[in-house]
Amino acid sequence: MKIDTSLTMPLLPEALSQAGLQFSVATEEDFDEIMGMSKDIYGGLDYLPTRYTSWMQESNRTVILARKEGKVIALESVVVIDDGETMLVEGLRVAPQERGKGVAGVLLRFCSELIKAKYPDVKVCRLTRDDQLRPKDFEKYRIITKQGILLVRFRAEELKLRLSELGLSGGIHSSLWPTTSNAGPVHLNHTTVDQLYLTTDLMKGLLPNGTIIQDWQPFKILRSNLDILFKKDIDWLVDDESNPTVASLCTFPFPVPIGEDWYYLNIDMFGKDLNLARQQFLYHLQRHTSTLKGHVMCQMFLDPPLWKPMADFCRNALKVERVKEYSEQCVVEADVI
């Protein structure tokens, strides 16, 4: 299905316009070509292979392809959230041979114009980045929040044994935390999530800038956004349902193209108490490594001051390998003009 590009063609740089870029809505039939273009993207941790089909079914999502001479050279996805006021940009990728030519910027502008026409109530564009922001980026975007990124890898079978040695086997209690002062993390169901997030203000002060960040997606605390999140496989934890100090969301593990029997586990941690954050981290690890076999890349996002002690805990107590040094996840936004 071709999109009428007359709205945005005048905005295209002349060189790219003459190069013959065409835009189209992605379909399920485009999957193989997109994957061919996406080889080695995100260090082998690309989530798109497992989510592409579901993306095609989301009514609030638009996935646009850029083609050159009939071949897919770029993709961008935009999902409308926050009661229709925010366009969230995801999955942006450009074929290796076309990078550095301005294609991503052109595609972003095209999608912005398209979404504004389709969703006139959209006010801001948000995206989540893990690269270092440059001075010129601050001319375009304002920072909503930052989280430290801790990426570790391990074999599920080996970590399962290590957790058993630490007393975390068959339950959430562990010798690593005092059970007298805390009974362990509380697993929330959808009803208790509703009560805690929507009927009280307890989470607004706990979440970074009042933002629920789930697997790179930033959401305001709204009924419509919880409805989106409830369609996903997520574990919701808090330390205390009546007065939470630390909360976390864990996305169920899924396979990634880094290699055979490789999985990705995403944990978003909120709060500043290291011991409580460790408890919830261990809970998620125990719950999801109990059935996995193979290699796991586990990425946790947490308050920046907690990164170093949590990294030390991973190395010294869990004996897992840290993949990279400290980096940051930045949620940024710009007004849609």
Alpha-carbon distance of 14 to 37, in angstroms, equals 25
- Considering the entire predicted model, what is its pTM? 0.90
pLDDT computed for residue 176 by the predictor: 55
pLDDT computed for residue 22 by the predictor: 92
Among 211, 64, 194, residue whose Cα is nearest residue 144: 211
Q: What's the mean pLDDT when you consider all of the chain?
A: 89
pLDDT in tens, 11-59: 444 444 435 789 999 999 999 999 999 887 888 888 999 999 999 999 9
Enter the DSSP assignment of 319: -
Pick one of 3.30.2010, 3.40.630, 3.40.50, 1.10.287 as the CATH number of 146-332: 3.40.630
Question: Quick one: what percent of the chain has pLDDT higher than 90?
Answer: 77
pLDDT computed for residue 19 by the predictor: 53
pLDDT computed for residue 202 by the predictor: 95
pLDDT computed for residue 157 by the predictor: 95
Alpha-carbon distance of 196 to 200, in angstroms, equals 6
What fold does the segment set 9-122 form as a domain?
Answer: Aminopeptidase (3.40.630)
pLDDT computed for residue 39 by the predictor: 81
Token digits of residue 42: 């995100």
pLDDT in tens, 110-152: 999 999 999 999 999 999 998 777 787 878 899 999 999 999 9
CB 170 within 8 A of CB 176: no
Domain ranges within the chain, ordered by starting residue: 9-122, 146-332
The structure tokens 């796991």 sit at 296
Q: Is the pLDDT of residue 234 over 60?
A: yes
The structure tokens 């995403």 sit at 266
- The alpha carbon dihedral of 151, 232, 289, 43 has a sign of negative
CB 120 within 8 A of CB 266: no
Q: Is the pLDDT of residue 232 over 90?
A: yes
In this chain, the answer to whether the domains covering 9-122 and 146-332 adopt an identical fold is yes
pLDDT computed for residue 16 by the predictor: 46
Angle at the Cα of 333 from the Cα atoms of 328 and 334, rounded to 5 degrees: 145
